[in-house]
Amino acid sequence: MKRWKMSLGAVLCAAGVMAQDKPNLIFLMADDQASWTLGCYGNPDVQTPNLDQLARDGVTFDHHYDTTAICMASRATVMSGMFEYKTGCNFHHGKLSAENWSKTYPSLLHAAGYRTAFAGKFGFLVTDDPTNKKGKGYMPEDDFSVWAGGDGQTSYKTSANEALKKYAEEYPHSTLAYGAFGSDFVRESVGVGEPFCLSISFKAPHRPTQPDPRFNGVYEGKTFSKPANFGRENGLHFSKQSQMGRQYPRFEEWNYATNYDGVMAKYHQQVYGIDVAVGMIRAALKESGADKNTVIIYTSDNGFLCGSHGYGSKVLPYEEASRVPMIIYDPRHSNSGKGLRSSALTGNVDFAPTLLNLAGLPAPGNMDGANLMKLYDNPAGEIHGALSLMNAWGAAKAQALSVVTRTYKYIYWYYGGEGFEPTEELYHIGRDPLEMTNLAHDPEQQAVLEMMRKKYDSQLNHWKEQGVDYSGYTPYETLFERTLPWSEKASLVQDMDDGE
């Protein structure tokens, strides 16, 4: 069988199947994966051999951020290349408009002749009338050649996904079923000789914690090193507002405080499953002969705090929640195989224009992102001077707008009622990546503070100029205005129910 598989790839290549001008594209996204969960990001406690190999083969990005650190908004941003305030899409806000969907990377690639597939957690709905919050939305299955997506949070049970049931017996846990689906799609696409774009959104390592039991022995009895900023004592300098979301109690509710090793063993076990699935897909690429012409991108929809500063979950603008792994591998490029890294500032707004550029298509003018391949060409280069990090979801007290550069991060917490005061935080993330020292009140850092305030104001002005005027985003143009007193904002505040 092994000899037959190798000869199949050789025959297909000889027949010119892989001689297409356009590269194949694979976009793989985890759910709630912090960057430090990978060996290639410096964690000696974990086993991620396939992703570490992908990093050695390609370029690893060390300052990559999800501009909204929550799944629904982040996923809409990934596909559209637009900031949340332009998609109008997040929990308790709204769905993505059909007009905006038509300008996403999957829709445009499909229209351009790519064979497209999606599997996993889609994360948002599309609507013909985004101004009607109560109207029904839909998943755009017709814009994919092959569909195995799911609404809502999806399930770890393969059998719960109708399109994946054929894999349920061999791979009852969805993580490896996605790997099998992706592998089959690669082989089928090579067989028909069409360029393809495969997008897989793994549910792992999102809660509920349900790792694949076949990997129970990987971290059994393992002791994990806690991050240097672990625990409540390392979050005392954070704003009081940051404690008002559910991230603060989850430090204890999710047992980071009392059973760190047990919690992290399951979390890392779920990531291990993704690593195996990535290995399955790369094996299918090699077997079919598509490995020399397929660009792979790997990332996560948001990070996870996992006890850092005494918090759990995500959403907040701090590093562990908003900065995530990102690896690109382009086998056609001369910089591949060198294990290169880029410290440039990048964001999830960059994926859509990058994928379109790789396919030889122009990025629509509405996109906020840039082409990441410029950094593949020159890892020492830059494509952004600053990026917005936003949270306009959940309890009003815990909402914030931030701006991050490669060196600094500025956070503005607008809430000022009930004993709170609007609060600023400033971090030199170049020297202080664990965000242990708030420089906002340091007299020697006032020039830096003013510089970051100006960058923040510029980002907010972009919101005011291009943000949607529906789905409840307009009030934030006032709420995030740092020069206005709380008395001019209080009437605009409405707490939103949880719905992560």
Q: Is the pLDDT of residue 377 over 70?
A: yes
The stretch 140-159 carries a mean pLDDT of 95
Do residues 277 and 202 touch, judged by C-beta distance below 8 A?
A: yes
**Apex CA 69: angle with CA 252 and CA 203, to 5°?**
80
The stretch 88-95 carries a mean pLDDT of 95
Q: Express as a percent the part of the chain with pLDDT over 70.
A: 95
The stretch 450-457 carries a mean pLDDT of 98
Q: What is the pLDDT of residue 4?
A: 30
Question: Per residue, what are the HEC states of 436-487?
Answer: CCCCCCCHHHHHHHHHHHHHHHHHHHHHHHHCCCCCCCCCHHHHCCCCCCHH
Please state, in angstroms and rounded to a whole number, the distance separating the CA atoms of residues 208 and 16: 46
Q: What is the pLDDT of residue 496?
A: 45
**Apex CA 132: angle with CA 128 and CA 133, to 5°?**
110
The stretch 305-310 carries a mean pLDDT of 98
Output the average pLDDT for the chain: 94
Tens-digit pLDDT profile for residues 393-403: 989 999 999 99
Q: What is the pLDDT of residue 383?
A: 98
Q: Is the pLDDT of residue 235 over 70?
A: yes
The residues pairing with 67 across neighbouring beta strands, listed in sequence order, are none
CB-hemisphere CA count at 13 Å for 120?
31
Tens-digit pLDDT profile for residues 169-222: 999 999 999 999 999 999 999 999 999 999 999 999 999 999 999 999 999 999
Q: Where are the domains of the chain?
A: 23-384, 389-492
Do residues 317 and 347 touch, judged by C-beta distance below 8 A?
A: no
CATH superfamily of 23-384: Alkaline Phosphatase, subunit A (3.40.720.10)
Pick from 7-16, 64-73, 134-143: least confident: 7-16
Tokens at 239, concatenated? 């704003």
Q: Which CATH class is domain 389-492?
A: alpha beta
The stretch 453-470 carries a mean pLDDT of 98
The stretch 359-381 carries a mean pLDDT of 98
Q: What is the pLDDT of residue 133?
A: 85
Confidence of residue 14 (pLDDT cuts 50, 70, 90): very low
Q: Which of the two residues, 17 and 150, has the higher pLDDT score? A: 150
